Amino acid sequence: MRNKQSAHRVKSSNAFFLGRGHRVTRRKLSGLLACMALLCAPLHSAQLKPKLPQPRAENQASQKPALKSSARQAKPGLSGLSGLSALAGLSGLDSIVEQSIAKDELPGAVLVVGHGGRVIFRKAYGARAVLPQRETMTVDTIFDMASLTKVLATAPSVLLLVEQGKVRLNDPVARYVPEFGTHGKEQVTVRQVLTHMSGLRPVPAVAAEAKGTEAVLKAIYDDTLVAAPGARFAYSDTGYIMLGELVHRVSGLALNEFAEKNLYAALGMRETRFLPPAKWKPRIAPTEEIDLPAGAKAGSGKGRVLRGEVHDPRARAMGGVAGHAGLFSTAADVAKFCSMILDGGRAASGKRIFTAEMIEKSTTPQTPPWSPTLRGLGWDIDSVYSSNRGDVFPVGTFGHTGFTG
């Protein structure tokens, strides 16, 4: 933890949600599309303290039972926003984003809307930086994707290995990373980690001064579970760090190398990678001002601004490449990835990345029937972490959020 003199925390979030084959009324369209591919730069506000959602108890009744029941049974087509007029309702998007900027809820955003395999709306709003000086947002701004790393890099890399026959979802993680199989973790499966049902703690119990990937991994190997495997949902960065190591052990490539070779190159995502090069820095949205000198006020610009360096402290300790955070990308590149998912695993070029069966499995509920939380293999379908998307998303919607700043 940092004290008030050591860092100025600001709030931002990256989020996207994908709808599949469902009719949405024009009245609801503006709210739906505004959330679908919104990548937000950090909010510079010393007074604003982010309110993190509190996970529901697994035995607590769902607040949205109709959605949960329907979502478990739904088998929608992968046709994107079918039933919508391609341009209907887009006139309301400007006011939605601009009102949020005016309320100081965010300094800027890039909004992308896709339909039928092509981008039909792309626009930048507000500022991408407020420290050390204000910069105008551009559509090619590069963002620290935070936990979107889980669904843009880690989970799809694991699922590619599953499709190659090199990993099995119901195998223990320890089969691929033997050091993990200690202190009650022997039977934690790959599927349980993907769905956050592993029983692993939310973040690794690692010393603040720990540096290097091996130090973080050792802390995980030596740790115990906080719940029995499969007993309850608990969102876990720890689990996805382990999945990143699993990709490394099975493929022989570091997670960043595997994802860049097998995902981003195939999809034409040329501005998506871990460890962004220095030449990208002018287009990267800063996330936080840290290391403020004694007596300096938060937001004074006298500290060190994280820009092009991953914000998450554990990913930073691991050198910038980790299974839970570390990826940088643009709204345009994320749209390419989303289009592939909605097209059943096929890239715009026609190249097949995943089978349609794997996409169906990964984007429909894989958590136990008794769980009030619905998660796919990486994707969030209905949980406390998707509460910020509102109530306008149709059954079958899935997505993910990320916190940066």
β-bridge partners, 352: 346
Task: Give me the half-sphere count of Cα atoms (radius 13 Å) on the Cβ side of residue 355.
Answer: 9
- Kindly state the average pLDDT of the residues 371-394: 85
β-bridge partners, 380: 375, 399
pLDDT on residue 318: 96
Q: For residue 150, is it within any domain? A: yes
Q: For residue 166, is it within any domain? A: yes
pLDDT on residue 57: 39
Angle, in degrees to the nearest 10, between helices 237-251 and 213-221: 110
Report whether 151 contacts 386 (CB < 8 A).
Answer: no
Q: What are the pLDDT digits (tens) for 65-111?
A: 333 333 444 333 333 333 344 455 677 888 989 999 999 988 999 99
Confidence bin at 296 (pLDDT 50/70/90): confident
- Kindly state the average pLDDT of the residues 191-208: 94
Report whether 352 contacts 345 (CB < 8 A).
Answer: yes
CA 339-247-250 angle, to 5 degrees, is 130
pLDDT on residue 36: 37
pLDDT on residue 98: 94
The proportion of the chain whose per-residue pLDDT surpasses 70, expressed as a percent, equals 77
Confidence bin at 395 (pLDDT 50/70/90): low
pLDDT on residue 87: 54
- Kindly state the average pLDDT of the residues 324-348: 96
- The SS3 call for residue 347 is coil
Residue numbers of the domain that contains 204: 7-403
Query: 378 or 72, which is more confident?
Result: 378
Which residue's structure tokens are 């998707």?
386
Q: Is the peptide bond before 132 cis (omega within 30 degrees of 0)?
A: yes
pLDDT on residue 169: 99
What mean pLDDT value characterizes the chain? 82
Q: For residue 276, is it within any domain? A: yes
CA distances to 2, 308, 327, 395 from 279, rounded to whole Å, are: 30, 10, 16, 42
Q: For residue 300, is it within any domain? A: yes
Q: Can you tell me the distance from the alpha carbon of 154 to that of 297, in angstroms, rounded to the nearest whole number?
A: 38
Q: For residue 13, is it within any domain? A: yes
Q: What sections of 233-284 are H helices per DSSP?
A: 237-251, 255-259, 265-267
pLDDT on residue 242: 99
Question: Is residue 119 classed exposed, middle or buried when 0-12, 13-18 and 19+ CB atoms within 10 A define those classes?
Answer: middle
Among the listed residues 56, 17, 15, the one whose alpha carbon sits nearest the alpha carbon of residue 233: 56
Among the listed residues 203, 223, 200, the one whose alpha carbon sits nearest the alpha carbon of residue 313: 203
Report whether 188 contacts 229 (CB < 8 A).
Answer: yes
Q: For residue 201, is it within any domain? A: yes
**Range in 68-72, 130-134, 273-277 the model is least confident about:** 68-72
CATH of the domain at 252: 3.40.710.10
β-bridge partners, 7: 290
Q: For residue 241, is it within any domain? A: yes
Q: Is residue 3 scored above 50 in pLDDT?
A: no
pLDDT on residue 131: 84
- Kindly state the average pLDDT of the residues 329-341: 96
Number of structural domains found in the chain: 1
Q: Classify residue 260 by its DSSP letter.
A: I
Q: Can you tell me the distance from the alpha carbon of 244 to that of 323, in angstroms, rounded to the nearest whole number?
A: 4
Report whether 222 contacts 215 (CB < 8 A).
Answer: no
Q: For residue 2, is it within any domain? A: no
Query: 89 or 151, which is more confident?
Result: 151
The proportion of the chain whose per-residue pLDDT surpasses 90, expressed as a percent, equals 62
β-bridge partners, 129: 135
- The SS3 call for residue 204 is coil
Q: What is the pTM of this model?
A: 0.82
Structure tokens at 170: 């119901």
**Residue 154 backbone dihedrals phi, psi, to 5 degrees:** -70, -60
Q: Is residue 338 scored above 90 in pLDDT?
A: yes
pLDDT on residue 344: 96
